[in-house]
Structure 1
Amino acid sequence: MATSSSRGVSRVLEKLDKSLKNGDYYEAHQMYRTVCFRYLGQERYKELKDMLYQGSVLFLDSDQKTSGTDLGLLLIDVLNKSKEQDCILWSPKLSIIFSKIGTDNDTERDAFLAQAVKWSAQGTSHGHPLLHQHIAKIYWDEQNYVQARHHYIHSQDGKGCAELLIEFHLTKGYKYETDLFIAQTVLQLLCLRNRITANQTFTTYTENHPRIKKTGPPFLLPLLNFIWFLLQAIESKKIQTFAVLCEQYRNSIKRDPCYVKYLDKIAQIFFGLKPQEEKKPGGIFGNLIESFLGGLEDDSDDENSSAAQASTSRKLIENTELD
């Protein structure tokens, strides 16, 4: 029975090769699906995964976007069915397929990416960092800075993230947002418990951004000093330092309403404080933090009042999941 099945697959493969040579892509696509079905039945996963990857790339290079994407989705389905866990091997390959699908096929491309990230997550929340890193670089090459930043947030490439942010700010941002771009990113990374990447991103950004004078820390921009001190407080786990920082830099923190939400979550993650709505009066730091959080809603003629304008950095949150 197995021999008969193998002969059947061989005949299909011969037809597949002939269809490809003749440029009959529709017929070739059907042959790929036929072989896929038979290989699945035989649990010949390694051969099948290689075949689907090569077929997807071949179709995409031949401008057969729909067929190429379909084989890419079949590949992810086989990765799931075979319980493949080698993200180091397959993340670059899935990224190549993603890149070749191209920007003219957003619906198909988004569907492929969603499935690729879901496979790479393997029980985690956001997908494998290596896949996000590859996808971020592709979006960056396409100058899609918002999506590139979103995927860098979920990678562990702080250096690449910082370099992207510098180009993003210089290309699309306002001059007064120099510190806002890095502050929001670092706070979001900390909310994702990614302290090491947050430190690497901040250091690379402040050392390489042409509009930040290389004299810090301390920096000329107060918000940069707050972020630097915050990273030190998290490293030392000193809740007193965190409380004083929030009080002393309240004017800088007011520049973006999102910062309070981020800091509340950071306080929970790194300092063991309760969520803001659950905090009770009293306690050694309760009143101070409560006062700080409540005081942020007061009006202020703080420096950089122009931040009341719609800022580029604030819009970045729309594509970043932090839960």
Structure 2
Amino acid sequence: MAAGPGVEKTLQKLKKSVEDGNYYEAHQMYHSVSQRYLKQKKFDVALELLHQGAKNMVAHNQLGSAMDLVQRLIDVYDQENMDVNESTRGRLLDIFQEMPLQTQTCDEYVRLCIKWSARHGPCPQGDPLIHHAFGSRYYSVKQYYDAENHFIYGTLDSAKATGHMTWEWSGEGYHDDRGYFLLRSVLQYLALKKLAHATALFDIFTKLLITESPSDKSLPLSFTPSSPSDPPRGTEVALYKSSSINFAQFLILCVERGSPEHFITLRNQYRNVLSFDGWLGAVFEVVAEVWYDLGPKKPVNPFEDIMKSLFAPPPSGGSGGNGQQLLAMD
């Protein structure tokens, strides 16, 4: 925002007030001054005051005051029917970068942003770029579970980041089968009908696997077609020691070729993989429903749990999201 000298002077004065520890006074001034500009229809100025005020309060650990200013900023977005765009999104992401993770305040902030972007953007699960930014920050501090929850609703770049993340996650010792972490995300992307995302994720994960642990890949399997829906003669697919990786690979191939017969065969052959984790089995049933109309009459939708966790009131004790909470969505 290209603020005039008067606005810059006000911003500096309020920032100095926060730095001097006059938090209550500064909080009230951010509200009153922004309200004055709102009455004058100077929305950009008012929003910049609220934006900078929230950042300053976060910087001085005044999280309650920060959230109050954030709520006011989002109220203005709502009242003026402001869509998700570079400017409206940018203010929220700028504040998020200052928020301390694993706190109730950050959890509440994330929910507010996602709910607003779902109301004013084209995606009912929230803006993909906001999800990508949230997921990237969680990933940077190895909060893999929280990162996964956002990357799934993000962009194609989110899927590529998920490829790297699931490989790192798989090396943390939470599960004997490193492919488990790959399969989690592949199933979720396919349940959302994001085939390109699932493929990008799979390609990156397996390239990292082959580079860092080549012994986990065995000889390729060469196809001999027995039906028109089979791959062409000579088509080769790599095989891995991990049943979960092989399952993810064949599942992507089934969806690409639109073959319900092969899908049913695959489901029967890998029941043991799905039975290990009931949540994975539930997501698989969503995949069966959305691609082949083969799911239960009332398919279980595990994504409802994800969205409930994003939109629900914050739990006591902060986020606690980390790689050990693998089955929190179950």
Bin for the TM-score computed over the shorter chain: 0.7 to 0.9
Residue 150 of structure 2 corresponds to which residue in structure 1?
151
State how far apart, in whole Å, the 2-side matches of 1:68 and 1:277 are.
Answer: 42
User: CA-atom RMSD, angstroms?
Assistant: 2.9
State how far apart, in whole Å, the 2-side matches of 1:185 and 1:131 are.
Answer: 19
Match 2:16 to one of 12, 21, 44: 21
> Which protein has greater RCO, CA pairs closer than 8 Å, 6+ apart?
2
Unaligned runs of 5+ in 1: 1-9, 279-311
CA contact (8 A) 2:99 2:106 kept: yes
**Other structure's SS at 2:83 match:** coil
Once the two structures are TM-superposed, the CA of residue 14 in structure 1 deviates from its matched residue by: 6.7
State how far apart, in whole Å, the 1-side matches of 2:179 and 2:100 are.
Answer: 33
Once the two structures are TM-superposed, the CA of residue 131 in structure 1 deviates from its matched residue by: 0.6
Residue 134 of structure 1 corresponds to which residue in structure 2?
133
From the superposition, tell whether residues 171 and 88 of structure 1 become closer, same or farther in structure 2 (CA, over 3 Å): farther
Residue 328 of structure 2 corresponds to which residue in structure 1?
318
State how far apart, in whole Å, the 2-side matches of 1:139 and 1:248 are.
Answer: 35
Once the two structures are TM-superposed, the CA of residue 276 in structure 1 deviates from its matched residue by: 5.3
Q: Percent identity?
A: 27
Letter in 2 for 1:116: C
Residue 273 of structure 2 corresponds to which residue in structure 1?
252
Larger radius of gyration: 1
Once the two structures are TM-superposed, the CA of residue 116 in structure 1 deviates from its matched residue by: 0.7
State how far apart, in whole Å, the 1-side matches of 2:10 and 2:180 are.
Answer: 59
CA contact (8 A) 1:152 1:161 kept: yes
Residue 110 of structure 1 corresponds to which residue in structure 2?
107
CA contact (8 A) 1:87 1:128 kept: no
Once the two structures are TM-superposed, the CA of residue 63 in structure 1 deviates from its matched residue by: 3.7
Residue 298 of structure 1 corresponds to which residue in structure 2?
none
Once the two structures are TM-superposed, the CA of residue 277 in structure 1 deviates from its matched residue by: 6.5
TM normalised by structure 2 equals: 0.73
Residue 221 of structure 2 corresponds to which residue in structure 1?
none
TM normalised by structure 1 equals: 0.75
Residue 77 of structure 2 corresponds to which residue in structure 1?
79
CA contact (8 A) 2:177 2:242 kept: no
After superposition, the C-alpha distances for 1:36-94 in whole angstroms (9 at most, x for unaligned) are: 22333333222222221122223323443332332222222222222221344333431
**Other structure's SS at 1:262 match:** helix
Once the two structures are TM-superposed, the CA of residue 159 in structure 1 deviates from its matched residue by: 0.9
**Other structure's SS at 2:104 match:** helix
User: How many equivalent residue pairs?
Assistant: 275
Q: Are 1:243 and 2:264 matched, yes or no?
A: yes
Unaligned runs of 5+ in 2: 1-5, 219-236, 300-321
CA contact (8 A) 2:142 2:323 kept: no
CA contact (8 A) 2:217 2:241 kept: no
From the superposition, tell whether residues 133 and 184 of structure 1 become closer, same or farther in structure 2 (CA, over 3 Å): same
Residue 284 of structure 1 corresponds to which residue in structure 2?
none
Letter in 2 for 1:245: L
From the superposition, tell whether residues 149 and 36 of structure 1 become closer, same or farther in structure 2 (CA, over 3 Å): same
Letter in 1 for 2:16: K
CA contact (8 A) 1:147 1:319 kept: no
Letter in 2 for 1:79: Y
Once the two structures are TM-superposed, the CA of residue 231 in structure 1 deviates from its matched residue by: 0.7
Letter in 1 for 2:64: T
Letter in 2 for 1:122: R
From the superposition, tell whether residues 15 and 222 of structure 1 become closer, same or farther in structure 2 (CA, over 3 Å): closer
CA contact (8 A) 2:159 2:197 kept: yes
CA contact (8 A) 2:11 2:49 kept: no
CA contact (8 A) 1:15 1:31 kept: no
